Amino acid sequence: MENVGVIGAGSWGCALALQLLGNSHKVTMWTHRQSQAMSMNDTRRNDKLPEAILPETLEITSDLEVALKNKTMIVLAVPSVATRSTLEKMKPFVSIDQLICCVSKGIEEGTLMGQCDIIADVLGDDQKMGVLSGPSHAEEVVKHLPTVVVAAATEEAWAKQIQNAFMNQYFRVYTSRDVIGTEIGASLKNVIAIAAGISDGLGYGDNSKAALITRGIKEISELAIAMGGQQETLSGLAGTGDLIVTCSSMHSRNRRAGMLIGQGMSMEEAMNQVHMVVEGVYSAKAALALGNKYNVTLPIVEIVNQILFEGLDPRDAVLKLMLRDKKPENGSF
């Protein structure tokens, strides 16, 4: 049995806390807001995941030391923009024998670091760590709908520890050594999902969505491979699988924000309407910068940046994509 601290009480952190609790692990869930901790302890509900009941066996706290002390595994489930600042607060209470399972998805804009790079930067290269990723909306996981994900780590033992902690009859976990490919797939799919949502908001159809998903996975794959990731990862759950669900699901906050932008809202208005962190907005600039760094062309990512930050009209953006120079799909004649 693991003794787990879940750092972050959003919808995904809460769903994973319940998943671990259901697997007979001891779980403490931390929120940075004392008022939220008090409310959840009183009502045994989380307003980010209202359909879920929080059992009395789930310890809820706003005390970071309590959430981390004597834990065998730490699940890092804060928004990616808060990863570094949260890790800095965690540092006095974390030891190298604790495995950190990161479920946050995003690239740090200033440094272009993935989540595991940030963990290593703050806690040290010898920290045990891995990531959990794949097509897995919290709203479906708490209903015990069949879900399949990937646990990636540089050490097999770490990946298997994550696999063993989370896996059961409705939540299947595969292992992988490809942390880079898994993280890039997780981060860039949110940017592509904004584009897919914009397409939906403009009233475009299935043809448009299929094209965005297909060309989107090509962009993600080319960047991940240039950075040292594996094609198999991007063709699997952490790449194509996660992209499909994020581009098409009603639960996807990135798609929802994109739809609102396609319907005429500004980026700020759309984010306020969604009421949750839209990770793709924060990863868009960093993704484009990574493309420039590794000399990988990312047309969809570039267009999303222009819509979000340069005021490009979404309809004009579609024309820019459609009227790019003629070229073969794969290779050349």
Q: Tell me where in the chain the CATH 3.40.50.720 domain(s) lie.
A: 3-177
Residue at token pair 């299935």 = 206
Residue 186 has pLDDT above 80, yes or no: yes
pLDDT for the residue 277: 74
Task: Collect contacts of 260-263 with beta carbons under 8 A, ≥24 apart.
Answer: 260/197, 260/201, 261/194, 261/197, 261/198, 261/201, 261/307, 261/308, 261/314, 262/197, 262/198, 262/199, 262/200, 262/201, 262/202, 262/314, 263/201, 263/202
Contact 89, 64 (CB under 8 A): yes
Collapse the DSSP code of 50 into the 3-class scheme (helix H, G, I; strand E, B; otherwise coil) and give the result. Answer: coil
Mean per-residue pLDDT of the chain: 94
Summarize pLDDT for 71-102 with one digit per residue, the tens: 999 999 999 999 999 999 999 999 999 999 99
Three-class secondary structure of residue 32 per DSSP: coil
Confidence grade of residue 332 (pLDDT, cut at 50, 70, 90): low
Quote the distance between the C-alpha of residue 152 and its chain's center: 14
From the candidates 189, 209, 218, 320, which is the catalytic residue? 189
pLDDT of 123 strictly over 70: yes
**Domain at 3-177: CATH code:** 3.40.50.720
Q: What would the mean pLDDT of 203-231 be, rounded to a whole number?
A: 94
CA 284 to chain centre: 13
End-to-end CA distance of the chain: 57
What backbone phi and psi angles, to 5 degrees, belong to 163?
-55, -50
Question: What does the pLDDT read at residue 273?
Answer: 87
Structure tokens at 74: 């730490």
Query: How much of the chain, in percent, has pLDDT values that exceed 90?
Result: 86
Q: Which of these ranges, 95-104, 175-184, 232-241, 272-281, has the smallest mean pLDDT? A: 272-281
Task: With a cut of 70, say whether residue 202 has pLDDT above it.
Answer: yes
Quote the percentage of the chain above a pLDDT of 70.
99
What pLDDT, on a 0 to 100 scale, did the predictor assign at position 333? 64
Q: What would the mean pLDDT of 108-112 be, rounded to a whole number?
A: 94
Each residue's pLDDT tens digit, 17-46: 999 999 999 999 999 999 999 999 999 999
pLDDT tier at 279, thresholds 50, 70, 90: confident
Q: Stretch 6-17: mean pLDDT, rounded?
A: 97
Q: Is 189 a catalytic residue?
A: yes
Tokens of 320: 């820019």
User: Which residue type does 143 have?
Assistant: K
DSSP, res 37: H
Three-state secondary structure call for residue 233: helix
Output the six-digit token pair for 325.
């120079």
* Contact criterion met (CB below 8 Å) for 123 and 132: no
Please compute Rg for the chain using Cα positions: 19
Neighbours of 75 (CB within 10 A): 30
Element (H, E) at 147: strand 147-152
Q: Looking at per-residue confidence, does 18 or 208 come out higher? A: 18
Domain spanning 186-322, CATH class? mainly alpha
Handedness of CA 166, 169, 172, 175 (dihedral sign): positive
Measured torsion, CA atoms of residues 78, 198, 48, 32, in degrees rounded to the nearest 10: 30
Residues of the chain with CATH 1.10.1040.10: 186-322
Indicate the range of 1-10, 21-30, 77-86, 270-279 predicted with least confidence: 270-279
Cα–chain center distance at 135 = 10
Instruction: Give me the pLDDT at residue 278, please.
Output: 81
* Res. 217: pLDDT tops 90: yes
